[in-house]
Amino acid sequence: MGTLLVGLRRFLANEAIDDELWDDLDAVLGEFTPPASHEIAAITARFRRATTTLVEIVPSLVRPYPLWPLQRLIFLSAEHPSPEYARGHLNRLAMGILDLLELMGDDAV
Q: Please give the C-alpha separations between residue 39 and each of 42, 44, 46, 92, in angstroms, as whole numbers.
A: 5, 9, 11, 16
The span from the CA of 109 to the CA of 107, in Å, is: 6
Domain count, the chain: 1
What local confidence, expressed as pLDDT, does residue 106 receive? 64
Question: What is the model's pTM?
Answer: 0.82
Name the average pLDDT for the chain.
Answer: 85
pLDDT digits (tens, 9 = 90+) for 32-85: 888 988 899 999 999 999 998 888 888 777 888 888 999 999 999 999 999 999
**Residue range(s) defining the domain that contains residue 73:** 2-108
